[in-house]
Structure 1
Amino acid sequence: MAGRRHHYLPQLIQRPFAFRQSGKEFYVRAYHRTRGRFTPNTAGLGKELDFYGGPEDTSLDDAMTSGEGELAKVVQALNRGEHPSPIEMATLVCALAFRTKAMRDALAGMMPAIVSALRIKVLDISRIRRDLLASLNDPKERKRQIFQAIDSGPPQSREQRAKAYAALLPAWKKYVSAREDELVGQAWATASLVMDKIRSEATNMAQASYLEVLSRDPTVPARARKLVEEMVFTVIQAPEGQSFILGDCGPVARFSDGKSRLVLGAVNQDADIEHIFLPISPSRCIHARVPSSTWWPSAAEINKISASLSVEFFISDRESGEDLEALRESIGTLDPVDSEEDIIQELLDQAE
């Protein structure tokens, strides 16, 4: 166990950006969305209390910590100019992509949109009317409702219940027709209460889902294998006089619709990942791309994507620069997946 303050941006990826080392302590230049520039120790940067769960269950944090040794070896090998296998690079990308605060917040942000889309569907009055009437006129449901009404009165024998059912059955359609608006209104009100409760708990639901998915395997091996099958992995060198930054979002991606998002993916089913970038030092960046893509981004373009998709800060090896201040101002300006409006519309379109 590494304590209750957990790194969502692990030190193994921060340390290559350090401008100073003192023993086992590494210091970086961090550019924060609200705090400006400061020079923290990586031991305290990119951490949050109980990020991977509380002290009652440390299994996920323990698993994350134990797996960092192999990931660190890949980062170190790449920064020595060696050539780890594509699956090792893909595993590093996937392990860092899903564990960040940016990814958790993105999932939490998606949940209200998903609930809103569901609410629109569920509370469609014409749909409620159609489904309710179909249900009430279903033979099994009709029988259940009639016997429920019979049993709400005085106790009766089996024969008496059967006679009562036979007497009431012919009047069922008339009963439903007469009370149609009232029944539909009751069904809508009940559904609305349920959806309001779900919406109020959406963030907690998203957090629980995030931890559940992450606990299955912190390195997400299936996703790593899929990336290797679909993409070519290389390492980009920063041109002389330029350098990469590391955003607190970790890896970032560019999609076939021209938008940049987190590696999680797009809600739009027609938007596929074409590029993934993970800076591993000021001079090196892992680049995965689909073979058909001909777009070759500059270091400045990669940096803009990383900063814009970050939640709070990015790290640079440089002490100052107009471009760094511009990047700091761009922190959090891109939707990590899609806007809430786009998510709602896409989900509604998919449900048609």
Structure 2
Amino acid sequence: MRVALGLLMSGTRHHFIPRFLQEGFASHYSGEKAFTWVHRKGVAPFNTNIINSGVEGHFYTTEGDTTADDLITSAEGALASLLDGVRSEDPEFLRDPQLPVLIAHLEVRTRHLRESFLKTGELLASRLIEFLADEDAFAGYMTRRLERDPTILRSSLAEEFVKRGIPMNHLDSVLHLATPLVPALIQAQRADFPRIAAQLRDALPTILKTAAKSGHIKALQSTVAPELRVQRYAELTFRIARVSNMPLILGDSAVLYAVVGPRRYRAFLDADTDLSAVFLPVDSQRVLIGSHEGTVTDVPPDLSNAIARCSLEYFISAENTDQHEALRDQIGADAHMLDQSEIEDIVNESLQ
């Protein structure tokens, strides 16, 4: 019955952390209703029905298109049954070929993923807008860019020819006449750069939010468990491990990845990142661990701390303890795909 409860996602309120996963972190039940503790940074923890946790209105729909929502709802039945079997610690379920599908699915469906793309895009775009607002720097950049790659001007002129119905056999002649004038035209437009930057800055939040949602939904409409990710997790051997030091929490990324590098834990796995282990808390006492064959990965003593740090907005727990209270301040510390220095490197490299 509790598996069935976790499948009620279709409609207007969509659970980006599936209820069948959240039920493992129930503090108590009232009839058929499961409750959990929600911990947000800077906010006192509160106990709520999981129907109100990890949920957002129309999260998987846009302009009445319910395709992504329908595909996720369809997939949840088998995944919920699989997770129920994993919690039973039946060895057969730990060898189930659908386990990599479960991991990949949980990774790509969350609000954490969408918001991380959005925040990364905002930081990148903000840096580029700052550059556009600098008249001297941007004018110099555009001049050098066109000198290094004249095909940019050719492509732009060709698009205008097509729009205006101008025969393409005139393109080379126009290009020959226009090229020497480009540096002067750029200099003449310098005063407009700050105004354009200001307009972009005002429009940026709406543009990026719309793009992040439509891009996420489009990806989910293609697949609710990307095959390349499934194949990568299929290389792992899975087992259930119990914890004893403190009740586990469930972060808003659901899955946690241990990787090789300065940031040991991540909420998402890049294609070129060296994976050490996958951790999926299934309830307050047990965690599903995936690691490469021949490698036995123990439960890290700092697992709950890492989960909190890689959570973007909140985590849930079956208990409200002093230890959980202390973890609230860690929320968001390691949540983003790229940190500020990585974004600066991308911007600087792009502008070279």
Distance 1:19 1:349, change over 3 A: same
Distance 1:340 1:205, change over 3 A: farther
* d(CA) in 2 for partners of 1:107, 1:36: 28
Q: 1:234 aligns with which of 206, 228, 239?
A: 239
1:8, distance to aligned residue in structure 2 (A): 0.9
* d(CA) in 2 for partners of 1:98, 1:186: 46
1:10, distance to aligned residue in structure 2 (A): 1.0
Length-normalised TM-score, structure 1: 0.76
Q: 1:248 aligns with which of 242, 249, 252?
A: 252
Instruction: Name the SS of the counterpart of 1:65 in structure 2.
Output: helix
Instruction: Name the SS of the counterpart of 1:57 in structure 2.
Output: coil
- 1:139-178 matched pairs, under 5 angstroms: 172=177, 176=180
Q: Deviations over 1:161-210 (max 9, x none)?
A: x9xx99x999x59x92xx55422325767888489378452232222211
Instruction: Name the SS of the counterpart of 1:336 in structure 2.
Output: coil
Larger radius of gyration: 1
Q: Which shows bigger deviation, 217-226 or 125-134?
A: 125-134
> Structure 1: which 5+ runs fail to align?
148-161
Aligned-residue sequence identity (percent) comes to 22
Q: Which residue of 2 aligns with 1:52?
A: 60
1:264, distance to aligned residue in structure 2 (A): 4.1
1:33, distance to aligned residue in structure 2 (A): 2.6
* d(CA) in 1 for partners of 2:104, 2:72: 13
- Contact 2:114 / 2:216 at 8 angstroms: preserved in 1? yes
Q: Which residue of 1 aligns with 2:166?
A: none
Q: Which residue of 2 aligns with 1:316?
A: 317
- 1:33-44 matched pairs, under 5 angstroms: 33-44=41-52
Length-normalised TM-score, structure 2: 0.76
> Structure 2: which 5+ runs fail to align?
1-8, 162-169
* d(CA) in 2 for partners of 1:228, 1:137: 44
Q: 2:210 aligns with which of 200, 204, 210?
A: 204
1:29, distance to aligned residue in structure 2 (A): 2.4
- Contact 2:312 / 2:336 at 8 angstroms: preserved in 1? no
1:70, distance to aligned residue in structure 2 (A): 0.8
1:350, distance to aligned residue in structure 2 (A): 7.5
1:114, distance to aligned residue in structure 2 (A): 4.0
Q: Which residue of 2 aligns with 1:13?
A: 21
Distance 1:87 1:121, change over 3 A: farther
Q: Does 1:328 align with 2:328?
A: yes
Distance 1:205 1:188, change over 3 A: farther
* d(CA) in 2 for partners of 1:5, 1:54: 13
Instruction: Name the SS of the counterpart of 2:257 in structure 1.
Output: strand
The total of aligned residue pairs comes to 321
1:117, distance to aligned residue in structure 2 (A): 6.5
1:54, distance to aligned residue in structure 2 (A): 4.1
Instruction: Name the SS of the counterpart of 1:333 in structure 2.
Output: coil
1:272, distance to aligned residue in structure 2 (A): 2.8
1:242, distance to aligned residue in structure 2 (A): 3.1
* d(CA) in 2 for partners of 1:169, 1:181: 14
Q: Which amino acid aligns with 1:128?
A: M
1:276, distance to aligned residue in structure 2 (A): 1.9
Q: Which residue of 1 aligns with 2:165?
A: none
Q: Which amino acid aligns with 2:316?
A: I
Instruction: Name the SS of the counterpart of 2:278 in structure 1.
Output: strand
- Contact 2:280 / 2:289 at 8 angstroms: preserved in 1? yes
Q: Which amino acid aligns with 1:88?
A: Q
Q: Which shows bigger deviation, 207-216 or 5-14?
A: 207-216
